[in-house]
Amino acid sequence: MTSLFDPVTVGAVELPHRVLMAPLTRMRASQPGDVPNDLMREHYVQRAGAGLIVSEGTQISPDGKGYMDTPGIHSAEQVAGWRRITDAVHAAGGRIAAQLWHTGRVSHESFHDGRLPVSASATPYRNRTTVRGEDGRPTRVPCPTPRALATEEIPRVVEDYRQATVNARDAGFDLVEIHAAHGYLLHQFLAADSNRRTDAYGGPLARRARLTLDVLDAVVEAWDTGHVGVRISPIGAFNGLDDPDGAAAGLHLAAAFAERGIAFLHLSEPDWAGGPQLDDSYREALRAEFPGVIIGAGNYDVAKAERLLAAGLIDAAAFGRPFIANPDLPARLAVGAPLNEPDLASFYGGGAAGYTDYPTLAAVR
Ligand code: FNR
C-alpha cells in the first residue's frame, strides 16, 4: 500500500516522499521592489526536507499585488533573489515550485499608485487586505470596488503569466503552480457572483473558466506540461468568494487539466478556513476527471493523508501551518514525534521571530 513516505513522480520531477509544504504567504519580502531576501532563503532552506516546497504566492506583475511585502517574479532583481533561494534549497537536497499569483480585487489602490485594482467585473470584495500602516506595521484596510478588465487587456494578463513562468524557470524553480484558488483573480473570473462579463470570458461556466485555461496554455507553452500544476479551491468560502457552482467548476477544470496532461492538480480543501469537510464522493468525482497527481491540502495529518492515499483519492499531501511551526515536519511525522504549535501573531509580516526560529526535533533534544 502507498504510504506518505514513498516516492512519487510529479510531472518531470521525482519527489522522495509525499509530505509537501503548502504555499504560505508570510509578507517578509524586501522593499522597495518586493524582492526575495536572505531571511526568506533561510526559511525555505530550513524546510528543504519537504517532498516539494510550494512557494508563497508570488505576484506575476505589479498589478497582481494585493498585500504588503509579498514577493514578485516580474523584475530582474526578484528573479535574482529567487535564484539565491532555489540554489540554496537544491544544495540542501530539496525541490521548490513557484506559486504564480494575481490577487485581482483582493488588493488596494495604495499598491497601484492610486489606481483601482482589477477584476472580472466591478463587483466589490467586501473585506479587507493588509497594507503598511503609518507606523510601518501591517494594517487591515477595506478593499475598494475594483475596475473590470477590458477584453483588450486580457492578453496582457495572460502574457504576464507566461513571462512569470519564463522568469521562474530562469530563477531555478523545479515547477510552477498557477494559483487559481481562494478568491483571487482567476477564481474571480471562474465564479458567476464575481464575473458579470458579457464577453468571451463571462457567461456560462466554460467561458468563465476560459481565463484560467488561457493562462494554463500560455504557461505550458513557456515551459511544458511536465512542469506545470494548478491549485484550485472548488468548495468553500475564501476571501469573500463562495461559488455555489464551485463543485461543477472544479470538475470542469479537472477535465481540462487531464486533457492537457499537466503535472498536478492541487486541491485546497475548505475545512481549515471554517468551511465544510470535503466528502469522498467529491474526491471520487475529481479523481474520475483527473487521473494525474492530486495533491490534497487543508487540515491534513498523517491519518487523513494515509487514508486518502490508500483510497487512491490523493497522491501527496501538502501541510501549511504544521510546516510553519516545524521546519523538519517530514522527519517528525515519520517517527510520530510531537509538533511545535504555530504562533498566529507572526504569520503575516515581521522578521525572524515566528519565521526562522522554530526549533527542529534535534535542536530540542
Ligand atoms: C495560507 N494559504 C495559502 N494558500 C495559497 O494557495 N497561497 C498562499 O500564498 C497561501 N498563504 C497562506 C498563508 C498562511 C499564513 C496560511 C495559514 C495559509 C493556505 C495554505 O496553503 C493551506 O491550504 C492552509 O494553511 C491549510 O493547510 P493546513 O494549514 O491546515 O495544513
Distance from the CA of 23 to the center of ligand 1, in angstroms? 6
Q: How many residues does the chain have?
A: 365
The reply to whether ligand 1 has any atom less than 6 angstroms from the CB of 99 is yes
Single pTM value for the model: 0.99
Nearest CA to ligand 1 atom 30: 299
Q: Which of 60, 314, 321 to mutate to test the pocket of ligand 1 (most atoms within 8 A of CB)?
A: 321
| pLDDT recorded at residue 274 | 87
Instruction: Report whether 70 contacts 34 (CB < 8 A).
Output: yes
Exposure class string for 319-330: b at 16+ Cβ within 10 A, else e: bbbbbbebbbbb
Q: Across all residues in the chain, what is the average pLDDT?
A: 97
Neighbours of 123 (CB within 10 A): 18
CA 273-65-347 angle, 5° bins: 40
**Using a 6 Å cutoff on CB, does residue 56 contact ligand 1?**
yes
* Pure H helices in 209-342: 210-222, 246-260, 280-289, 302-310, 321-325, 329-335
pLDDT class for 2, splitting at 50, 70, 90?
Answer: confident
3-state secondary structure of 169: helix
**Is the minimum distance from the CB of 57 to ligand 1 under 6 angstroms?**
yes
Hunting for cell 474520475 — which residue is that?
Answer: 288
- Looking at residue 308, what is its pLDDT? 98
Q: How far is the CA of 24 from the centre of ligand 1 (A)?
A: 5
24 lines ligand 1 (CB under 6 A): yes
Q: What is the pLDDT of residues 182-224, one digit of tens each?
A: 999 999 999 999 999 999 999 999 999 999 999 999 999 999 9
Tell how far the Cα of 41 is from the centroid of ligand 1, in angstroms: 19
> Could you tell me if the CB of 23 is within 6 A of ligand 1?
yes
> What grid cell was written down for 112?
497601484
Tens of pLDDT, residues 81-92:
999 999 999 999
* 319-325, long-range: CB < 8 A, 24+ apart: 319/19, 319/20, 319/21, 319/22, 320/21, 320/22, 320/23, 320/24, 320/272, 321/272, 323/21, 323/22, 323/24, 323/47, 323/50, 324/24, 324/354, 324/358, 325/358
Q: Which CATH class is domain 8-364?
A: alpha beta
What confidence score (pLDDT) does residue 51 get? 98
Q: Could you give the residue numbers annotated as active site?
A: 184
3-state secondary structure of 303: helix
